[in-house]
Amino acid sequence: MAKNNNQSNIFGILSIIAGVVSLFTAGVAGLVGLILGIVGLVKNEKKSLCWIGIVLSCLSWIIIFLFLGGAIFAL
């Protein structure tokens, strides 16, 4: 009997989607993308997809903090 080695990559894919969406929104989806990426890593999904989602989500939060910091110092 052949084993089914298909891994589900749903958390990694959703993490990437949320990370990309968070780059164009206020970053709320970034938190969701970060959580989904971590859950995907814990569930041993494809690590590259999960890490891409985590990096995109963190990048969106870094961009938000840079803009907020610039706006605060401009006052």
Q: Yes or no: say if 25 and 61 are a contact pair by the CB < 8 Å rule.
A: no
Parse the chain into domains and list their residue ranges: 10-74
Question: What distance in Å separates the CA atoms of residue 40 and residue 63, rounded to the nearest whole number?
Answer: 24
pLDDT in tens, 18-63: 999 988 887 788 899 999 999 999 988 888 999 999 999 999 888 8
**CA-to-CA distance for 21 and 47, rounded, in angstroms?**
20
pTM of the model: 0.79
Q: What is the DSSP string of 3-55?
A: ---PPP-HHHHHHHHHHHHHHHSSSHHHHHHHHHHHHHHHTT--HHHHHHHHH
* pLDDT value of residue 6: 56
Chain centroid offset of residue 47 CA: 12
